[in-house]
Amino acid sequence: MKISLKKSLNNNSMKNKRIAIVGGGPGGLTLARLLQIKGADVKVYERDVNKDVRVQGATLDLHDESGLRALREAGLIDAFKANYRPGADKMRIVDRDATILMDEDINASDEMSRPEIDRGPLRKILLDSLAPDTVVWDSQFVSMSETGNTWTLTFKNGTSAQADIVIAADGANSKIRPLITPIRPFFAGVTAIEGVVYNSATASPKIHELLSGGKIFALGDGKTLIVSAKGDGSLAYYCGFKSDECWYHNSGIDFTDKTQVINWFKEEFKGWAPVWLEIFENASTNFIPRPQYCMPLDQHWEALPNLTMLGDAAHLMPPYAGEGVNMAMLDALELSICLTSTAFPDTQTAIAHYEKEMRARASETAMMTLEQTDALHCEEGLENMMAMFSEH
């Protein structure tokens, strides 16, 4: 059943209903924008203290059929074009000695096919598109309860809010998801350590030069080191390796202690060129261990009349296929269409349609992502990566 956006301008089931979106990431903010276009009463509750908190993470490549489609429907494609980073999609495949094996200009034929944008500018575009005071900052979700048809949400700062419909956009460790389903993610067999270097041109000049404003995929020995340049002059990186689920608890490493992490890297990535130490020795923030999880591919639950979820809260998966933000933004678009469409008799039916389509999309993407994650973190990872791009 295909729902037309043009038919979804008026929907009595949304009239006078308060919608609460928990989480101000790309998915939650995109949904807020799309719903406000339709005249919905929306609030976004975000745990960040304010809009100026530095947004961490690597750059995002938005795909035409998902992330960019959502921005077009939100009327924000011109703002995106003014803020994206031409050339940031360039990818360099290297071995553990930092020998360049392939330079790939993904968008050589069409620079807007998978353009890159930093998380901070994307969030600013979305925030600037919302009505004043849509986002309620410093609102870390604690719990919520239902009385009649109304949800009461409570936050760590002692405040509370009421809503008729709640959408969980609160990410991988969603506190709202258990109210929808008890299904939990499974460990995908890989842990990644995240690091950041500010002012990389001076703090890590060799890797900065190797990056050349784009991305580096370094592979060898069943391990990966992925480095991304950012528009603010920093770089973000993730070193991935196969591990047990509780490795980061049992390793005994204090990830706030740079010396301990460097010693671990020297041992775990033994045989890798010394040049890689540059980004560990000059890391600007604490390291973050990120065990990778994935939701079951066959997950199912019965739709609720006033509660649903999107993005990682709904279909967490490893990041190695670059689909996470795109799926969250596509979820936002599809959910906004369903919630405001006249094609459904009530909100529960609209949510059920959205969730069925969302789960099917997520299952297909998760299967591909798991296969790619395994392919990169095996002894033939470098060969697999080279083959993957030589096929394109």
Binding-site sequence positions:
54, 61, 119, 312
At 376, phi and psi to the nearest 5?
-80, -25
User: What tokens does 179 get?
Assistant: 């109210």
* Binding-site residue positions for NADPH: 54
User: What tokens does 107 get?
Assistant: 């968008």
H or E element: which one contains 227? strand 223-229
Q: Give the Cα separation of 67 and 324 in Å (integer).
A: 10
Q: How many residues are given for the chain?
A: 392
CB 331 within 8 Å of CB 358: yes
* Binding-site residue positions for FAD: 61, 119, 312
Beta bridge partners of 103: 92
Query: Beta-carbon neighbour count of residue 313 at 10 Å?
Result: 28
Query: What residues contact residue 42 under an 8 Å CB cut-off, 6+ apart?
Result: 19, 20, 21, 31, 32, 35, 36, 134
Q: Which amino acid is at 160?
A: S
Q: Which of 10, 43, 11, 40 is nearest to 24 (CA)?
A: 43
Q: Which amino acid is at 292?
A: Q
Beta bridge partners of 162: 152
3-state secondary structure of 184: coil
Alpha helices in 252-346 (DSSP H): 258-268, 277-281, 312-315, 324-339
Query: What residues contact residue 331 under an 8 Å CB cut-off, 6+ apart?
Result: 27, 31, 310, 311, 314, 354, 358
3-state secondary structure of 256: coil
Query: Beta-carbon neighbour count of residue 81 at 10 Å?
Result: 13
